[in-house]
Amino acid sequence: MVDAKARRFWRNSPADAILLAITLTQFTGTVVLAALTPDALWPRLASAALVTAMMTYSIIVVTHLFVHQPWFTDNRLNSLLSAISSANIAQSVQAYHLTHVRNHHRYNNDRKRDGTTADITSTFRYGREGEHARLWWYLVRGLAGSAQEWALTWVMLGRGCAVGRRETTLLSLAARHPERRAAELRQIRWDRLGLLAFTALLAVLSWQWTLLCYLPSVALAFTLVNIQNYYRHFGAEPESRYANSVSHYGRLYNLLTFNDGYHQEHHLRPATHWSRLPEVAQEYQEQFEEAGRVVSPVPALVGFLDTGRAARTSRPASRRGRSGT
């Protein structure tokens, strides 16, 4: 039984201490790699691979859980961790919260209407005739957007990294209540400053490592995250509340990723703690089956291996069945 002191410290569960440990390990590990990686090809490749893996895992799993449910009861600790995590994922965690929780989970990977999608990360956004975009084009557009955001962060350094008037997406997603809105926009500024300070630290430790290992790792991690998002929704039906995303129930994967594979359940109950997502799966099993939700035999990151889903989705929409794998 969790004691009262732990309940006062952890907003949801003391089990989130594992996620905190992973976050701090990644932060420290990246600094160590910048300082100690030898100036040789194979050590640099291994270092870049490790940074890519840590950043990808953090965006997909650790930080994703944090933006849905901050871990601490003390908002000052959440604010500090947001800045640290922003360094880990090379983007503002508060901005991630706005675009993911308030946009993606509101519109659920919708199809085009009036020429575009409401969900700015929708797999249909750059597609044609009501179909998903080609994977390669989705990745190109996603990476270009991330690169633009990265460059803008540096450009805005002269203004203390404040959210500018041209950042209409963030401004439109920020809270309407004046105090809450100010706090969210302020947090984006702190996140950005934390990220830039972290990048500067890495460059001081080794500008060669930062240029040849870190920056390529950031680009590759963003690409892998976009592959993950693509196959989390490829073949699903955005119009159906119970079939608008794709789940994977591999035990090992879900053990290592804090039930990340329960994605349909997460879309249905985004505020549910990761430890309870299997309960959501049981609760809505009948509705899921009736809706014909898609269950993938492989994790989303390697969703291209699910050839059966690709074959079904490639058929014209009028001939496509609703049954899942």
How far apart CA 161 and CA 304 sit, in angstroms, is: 38
Same domain for 166 and 249, yes or no, is no
**What's residue 315's pLDDT?**
46
Q: Please determine, for residue 237, whether its predicted confidence score (pLDDT) is greater than 90.
A: yes
Residue 217 sits in the same domain as residue 70: yes
Give the per-residue pLDDT at 311: 64
> Could you tell me the pLDDT band of residue 316, with boundaries at 50, 70 and 90?
very low
Domain-ending residue, one of 233, 260, 295: 233
**Whether 16 and 160 share a structural domain:** yes
Could you tell me the residue range of the domain that residue 293 belongs to? Answer: 241-325
Q: Contact at 8 Å (CB) between 210 and 34?
A: yes
The last residue of one of the domains, among 183, 211, 233, is: 233
Q: Which residue has the higher pLDDT, 4 or 188?
A: 188
Cα–Cα distance, 296 to 292 (Å, whole number): 12
228 shares a domain with 302: no
Residues 307, 182, single domain; the answer is no
Q: Percent of the chain at pLDDT above 70?
A: 93
Assessment of whether the complete model's pTM goes beyond 0.75: yes
Are both 247 and 212 inside the same structural domain?
A: no
**CA distance linking residue 166 with residue 177, whole number of Å:** 21
The answer to whether residues 123 and 227 touch, using CB atoms and an 8 Å cutoff, is no
Amino acid at 117: T
**Are 245 and 222 contained in the same domain?**
no
Same structural domain, 156 and 86: yes
Residues 119, 105: Cα–Cα separation, whole Å? 8
Tell me, yes or no, whether 218 and 137 share the same domain. Answer: yes
Kindly state whether residues 280 and 204 are assigned to the same domain.
no
Contact 99, 207 (CB under 8 A): no
pLDDT in tens, 241-277: 999 999 999 999 999 999 999 999 999 999 999 999 9
Question: Quick check: 319 pLDDT over 50?
Answer: no
Average pLDDT rounded to a whole number, residues 149-158: 82
* 223 and 93 in a common domain: yes
Phi first, then psi, for residue 272 (nearest 5°) are -75, 135
Average confidence (pLDDT) over 62-89? 97
In this prediction, residue 313 carries a pLDDT of 65
Per-residue pLDDT band for 324 (boundaries 50, 70, 90) equals very low
Single residue among 233, 264, 281 that ends a domain in this structure: 233
Segment 223-243 shows an average pLDDT of 96
Give the confidence band of 159 by pLDDT, cuts at 50, 70, 90.
confident
Q: Region 69-96: what's the mean pLDDT?
A: 97
Q: Are residues 222 and 255 in the same domain?
A: no
Give residue 149's pLDDT. 85
Name residue, tokens 């984006």: 188
> What are the pLDDT digits (tens) for 187-208?
999 999 999 999 999 999 999 9
Residues 6+ apart with CB under 8 A from 214: 30, 34, 48, 51, 199, 202
154 CB neighbour count, 10 Å cutoff = 13
**Structural domains in the chain (count):** 2
The model's pLDDT over 100-145, given as tens digits with 9 standing for 90+, comes to: 999 999 999 999 999 999 999 999 999 998 899 999 999 999 999 9
